[in-house]
Structure 1
Amino acid sequence: MSMPHPTAGPAAGCPVSGAPGTPAALYGPGLDGNTMPDLYERLRAAHGPVAPVTLAPGIDAWLVLGHRELLRLTREEQDFSHDPRRWSLLREGRVPPDSPILPMVGWRPALLFADGQQHRRMRGAVSDALAGINGHELRRSVRAAAEGLITGFAAHGEADLVAAYARTLPMRVIAGLLGVDDRTGRELVEAVAGLVSATSGARDASRRMGTILQGLIEEKRRVRGDDIVSALLHHPAHLTDEEVLHNLVVMFVAGNQTTVNWIATTLRILLCDPALRSSLSGGHLSVDDALDLVLWRFPPTQNFPARYATRDMRFGGQDVRAGDMLILGLAAANADPEVLPAGGAPVVGNRSHLAFGAGPHTCPAQDPARLITRTAVDTIRHRLPDLELAVPEDELRWINSPWSKGLGTLPVRFTSPQLPRGPVPPQSAGALTPAWLPRPH
C-alpha cells in the first residue's frame, strides 16, 4: 500500500492518530459497537472518505467511509475484486498463518470470494435456495419459537433479551432451515461467535464450523431433506460439496449474527426511545419503519471484508495500489454527512442505507432476515407489553468486534406477560419448498 507498513500494529485499542497517512487500529479491547462511531468520524475528519487502518498487527487496509465511494466499491468489479488471492500482503507472505483476520478473508470457493460468472453461478443457487423458503411457514415457525422462549422466562419477571431471546431465536430458526437439531445449531452459533471476534481463537472456530457442516453435507447426500443444505446439494448449478460447505459458512456467519444484532438493537431503541415506542404503539410508525431506522443508525454489521484493488488508482483522495485490501465501512457510510446530516433522521421508508451492501454482492438473505426480525420484535412487544430496561442505557455492554455491531446484554423487567393460551405449537419443518427439490420419502 502507499501508507507505511509497520512491523507491529498500534497498541490494542489505540485510537486514531490525527496525522494524515497514519493507520488507525481497527481491533483491540477498546473498540466495540458503542465506541466505533466516534472512531469513524475521527477517521473521516483526518483522512476523508477512505482511511488507512490496521486490522491486526502488520495487516494494513483501507476503510471506505464515504457513501458514494462505498457504492463505487461494491458496483465496479473491474476495479475492485472479491478474490483475496489478489491481496498483495497475502501474495507476499506477509500474513501470518495464525492471523485472526485470515478466517474472515481467506479464499474459499464461495460466492463472497468470487467475481463474474463464477459468482453468478453460486449466487443463483443460494438465491434460489433462499427464495424457496415459504414465508408463511417461516413466520409461523419464528412466532412459535419466540413464544416458546418468552414462555420459558416469563415467570421470572426479568430476562437478558440477548442471551434468552435475540441470540437463541435465530439459532433455532436457522437450525431448522439447515435441517439440524438445537444442539448442533448451538455449536454452530458458538463457532460463529468465535469467528467474528477476530481473536486468536478465530481459526479454531472456523475449523469447528467446517467440521460440523461437512458432517451435515454428508448426511444430506445420504438422506435428502426439506432444508437449505439439500436445496444447495441438488440445485441445477451442480455445486460441489466443497462449494456447498463454504457457501453455507457465508450464509450462516452473515445470517445468524446479523439477525441477532438486528433484533437486539431494535428492542433496545424501542426501550430507550419513548417517542419512537409511542409512535409505534399509536400506529404512526410500523415495525418495518423501526427496523429501517436501526439499519440506518446501527447497522448489525458495521464493517465487512473485503475488496481488492485490481489496479493502481486515486480513490477517495487516497493513492490505492493494485492488491490493496479495502474494507466496506457500512456503518460509517450510512452516517456520511452527504447522505445523512448530523443529528438528522432518515426519511421513513427510505431503504437506501448500505446495511446489506450494494451491487452484485448485495446480501441475498435480507428478506428472510427481515421476516425473522420483524416477527421476533412484534411477538415480544405483544407478549410483554410493559417491558422496560432494567439498567441505565449507558450501562449496556457491547460485544468487542471490528465487524459486528451487537449488544452483549439487554437486561429487562416486566410484570404482566400476555402468554398464548394452550400449548405453544411446534416449529414447522416445512418452511422450505424449492420447486426443483422433490419431497423426501
Structure 2
Amino acid sequence: MTTGPTPDQALVPPPGCPAHRGATPATTPLYGPVVADDPHGLYARLREQHGPVAPIELEPGVEAWLVLGYPELLELTRNEQLFSKDSRRWRVPREGRLRSDSRLLPMTAWRPTLLNLDGAEHQRLRAAVSDTLSRIDHRQLRETTEQAADALIDSWGPDGTADLIAQYARKLPLLVFTRLLGLPAETGPHLIELISHFVDSSEKSVRANAEFQAILVDLVRQRRERPGADLTSWLLAHHAGLSDEEAVHHLVVILVAGNETTINWTGNTLRLLLTDRRFRATLAGGRLTVSDALDEVLWRDPPTQNFPGRWATSDTVLGGQYISAGDMLVLGLAAANADPVVHGGAGGDGLAGNRAHLAWGAGRHVCPAQSPARLIVETAVETLLHRLPDLQLAVPGHELAWRPSPWSRALVALPVLYSAFTPPRAAAPSPERSPWTPTPQTGPSDSTPSAATSTPRTPDSAKPGPRSWWNSLAGWWSGR
C-alpha cells in the first residue's frame, strides 16, 4: 500500500526548485578542453543526465543553464515575457559574483544594441540594422568577395602548402568588411587579433574589447562629419536616429557577429569538403552544391555553437528544470540542432538543403545578416575550389584542433596541399562607382552561383581584371 508524504516531506520543495538551491544538480563546466575537443559528446552526456536544459558553469562560481532541446530553445527565444535579452537582469553580477576582469564580460555586458533589448526599442534598432544591410548590392558583394579571395590566393608562396584558416578564412571576411564599413584597410589585421581575444574569452579580452570600440568610435565620428557610400554612413543616416554610442555598439555587433561567424562558417565548410569523402564525391558529381555544404555545416558544426543569452524575468520552469528570476540561459545552438526530437532517429542524415536549423537563433532576435554572410562564405568556398581544384588535407582529419571557445566552433588551423593554381575568373567590367552603391535588386538569383565549381573554363576566360587594390592589400597582409 502506498502512502502519502509525511508532514516534514510535504514541506520540502522539489529538487531544483528556486527555494531549494542546495539540491540543484551539480554544474558542468562549459569551458576548458572538453568544449573544444568533443562538444557533441559533452552535449549528448548533458542531455542524458539532465534532459533538454542542463546546469552549467561558465567560469568558476558562475552558474547558468544550457538549453539543449530544440523545442525548448524555440520557447526560450520566442517568449520575451519570461526570457529577456536584457543582461542587466542577471543576478550573478548583482550579487557581486562576477569579477571585474571576468572573461565573460565582453560577451555578456549590457549594451544599447538590438542584442540586449526587447520590445519596441529592439524593433527600432533591428530595423536600422536590417535596412542598412539590405542596401548592400549582392552582385557587387559577390564580385568584391571573389576579387579579395583571388588576391589572397595569389599572395601564397610557390611551395603548394597553405593554412586555410590563418591565410584565408580569417583574412577574407575583414578584407570585405573593412571596405564595407568604410574602415581603413590597414586596420584589418589588428581587428582580427582583437576580435579573437574577446570571442575566445582570453585573458586579454577586456582590454581588447576597449581598444576595438575605440577604433569604431573614431570611425563613427569621421562618418558623422563626412558621410560616404558605406554601412557606417547608412546606419547613421537611418530614420531610427541612432546616437553615436548606439552606432558604435551596432558596428561592434556587425563586425564581431558577422566576421567571426563568416570565418568559422568558411573554415568548417572547407573542413567538411576535405574530410568527408561522401560529400566531396557528391559535390564533384553535381548531386550536391556548395550551398548544400553550407547548410550541412550549419546543422552539424554551426559557427556559433553556444550564444549568451536570455535572463529569466521570474521564477519559471523550462525543460523540467526550475529556473529562478535572474538566471542566465545559454542558447545551445549546436546541441539543439542535434536534438533527436528533430531528426526522428535518422542520425542527422539528409541535412543538405534543410534550413530548419537554429544556427541563426530564432524568434525576433534571429540574425539579420544571414543573406550577406551566406553570400560571402559561398563565394569564398567556390573561389577556392576553382582556383585549387586538387586541394587536399595535409594532416589526418583527427589531428585538426579546435579553438577553446565556449561560444565559437572554430578550427585552430586547416593545413592543405595543392599542386597548381587555376587562373582566376575573368573580372566583369563594372561602372566607375563605389563598390557598395546600391543598385536595383533582381531577386533571389543575385545570390545564386553563376556556375558549378567544377565547370571547365577556357584559357581566354582566365584573364584577370584590374585588382590592384586587393593585390596590394593581400600582399601587404601576407608580409610581401
TM-score (norm 2): 0.84
Judged with a 3 Å threshold, the aligned counterparts in structure 2 of structure 1 residues 155 and 306 are, in CA distance, closer, same or farther, namely same
Distance 2:364 2:437 in 1: 25
Query: What is the distance in 2 between the residues matched to 1:350 and 1:217?
Result: 39
* 1:384 aligned partner, one-letter code: L
Structure-2 separation of matches of 1:268 and 1:425? 33
Whether the 8 Å contact between 2:299 and 2:351 is mirrored in structure 1 is no
- For the residue of structure 1 that corresponds to 2:354, the secondary structure is coil
Q: Contact between 2:53 and 2:68, CA under 8 Å: does it hold in 1?
A: yes
1:281-301 CA deviation, whole Å, 9 max, x = no partner?
111111111100000001000
Of 294, 310, 313 in structure 2, the residue corresponding to residue 310 of structure 1 is 313
- Supply the distance in 1 between the matched residues of 2:424 and 2:373 (Cα, whole angstroms): 24
Distance in 2 between residues matched to 1:146 and 1:213, nearest whole Å: 25
The answer to whether the aligner puts 1:383 opposite 2:357 as a matched pair is no
Query: Structure 1, residues 10-62: CA drift from partner, whole Å, max 9, x if none?
Result: xxxxxxxxx9711001112x134441111111111110000000101111100
Mapping of 1:144-183 within 5 angstroms? Answer: 144-153=147-156, 155-183=158-186
Residue 231 of structure 1 contacts residue 434 of structure 1 at CA under 8 Å; is this kept in 2?
A: no
Residue-pair matches, total: 422
Deviation at 1:432, TM superposition (A): 4.7
Out of 75, 83, 86, which is 1:83 matched to? 86
Structure 1 Cα separation of the partners of residues 223 and 354 of structure 2: 41
* Residue of structure 2 equivalent to 1:418: 422
Aligned residue for 2:399?
395
1:95 aligned partner = 98
Query: Are 1:218 and 2:221 counterparts?
Result: yes
1:120 aligns with 2:123: yes
Secondary structure of the residue aligned to 1:355 is: coil
Tell me: CA distance 1:141–1:421, structure 2 relative to 1, closer, same or farther (3 Å).
closer
Paired with 1:200 and 1:377, the residues of 2 have a C-alpha distance of 33
Following TM superposition, by how much is the alpha carbon of 1:71 offset from its aligned partner in structure 2, in angstroms? 0.5
Counterpart position of 2:197: 194
User: Following TM superposition, where does structure 1 have runs of at least 4 consecutive aligned residues deviating by more than 4 angstroms?
Assistant: 1-6, 421-429
SS in 1 for 2:45: helix
Q: Are 2:325 and 1:346 aligned?
A: no
Give the conservation status (yes or no) of the 8 Å contact 1:82–1:306: yes
Identity %: 51
1:51-84 CA-partner distances (Å, limit 9, x unpaired): 0001011111000000000001111111100001
Q: 1:98 to 1:423 in 2, by over 3 A?
A: same
Relative to structure 1, is the Cα distance of residues 295 and 422 closer, same or farther in structure 2, using a 3 angstrom cutoff? Answer: closer
How far 1:429 moved relative to its partner? 4.2
The structural deviation recorded for 1:5 is 8.0
List gaps (5 residues or longer) in structure 1.
7-18, 436-441
2:438 aligns with one of 422, 433, 436: 433
User: In the superposition, relative to structure 1, how do residues 365 and 418 fare at CA in structure 2: closer, same or farther (>3 Å)?
Assistant: same
Name whichever of 411-420 and 426-435 sits farther off. 426-435
The answer to whether the Cα contact below 8 Å between 2:296 and 2:351 also exists between their aligned partners in 1 is: no
RMSD: 2.2
Residues 421/243 of structure 1: CA separation in 2 closer, same or farther (3 Å cut): closer
SS of 2:340 mapped into structure 1: coil
Q: Pick the aligned partner of 1:284 from 267, 284, 287.
A: 287
- Measured after TM superposition, the shift of residue 192 of structure 1 is 0.9
Cα distance, 1:139 vs structure 2: 0.2
Output one character per residue of 1:316-354: Cα deviation in whole Å (capped at 9) or x when no partner.
Answer: 010001110000000000000111236331343210000
* SS in structure 1 of the partner of residue 155 of structure 2: helix
Q: Deviations over 1:233-274 (max 9, x none)?
A: 111100000000111111111111110011111111111112
Cα distance in structure 1, aligned partners of 2:224 and 2:168: 33
In the alignment, the residues of structure 2 paired with residue 147 and residue 79 of structure 1 have an alpha-carbon distance, to the nearest angstrom, of 48
Paired AA for residue 286 in structure 1: T
Q: Residues of 2 paired with 1:36 and 1:135: CA distance? A: 35
Q: Does 1:239 align with 2:242?
A: yes
Indicate yes or no: 2:340 matched with 1:337: yes
- What does the per-residue CA deviation read over 1:360-381, in whole Å, with 9 as the maximum and x for residues that have no partner? 0000001000000000000011
After superposing the two structures, state which structure 1 stretch, 425-434 or 68-77, moved more.
425-434
SS state of the match for residue 394, structure 1? Answer: helix
SS in 2 for 1:351: coil
SS in 1 for 2:168: helix
Larger Cα-atom Rg:
2
CA distance in 2, matches of 1:434, 1:108: 33
8 Å contact kept, 1:66–1:336? yes
**Structure-1 residue corresponding to 2:31:** 27
Q: Match of 2:107, as an amino acid?
A: M
Q: 2-side partners of 1:170 and 1:232: how far apart?
A: 20
3-state secondary structure, aligned to 2:341: coil
TM-score for the superposition, normalised by structure 1:
0.91
Question: Aligned equivalents of 1:98 and 1:432: distance in 2?
Answer: 42
Partner of 1:305, secondary structure, is strand
What's the secondary structure of 2:156's corresponding residue?
helix
Q: 1:425 to 1:273 in 2, by over 3 A?
A: farther
Q: Which residue of 2 aligns with 1:74?
A: 77
CA positional deviation for 1:419: 1.8
The one of 271, 276, 285 equivalent to 2:274 is 271
Answer yes or no: is 1:206 the counterpart of 2:209: yes
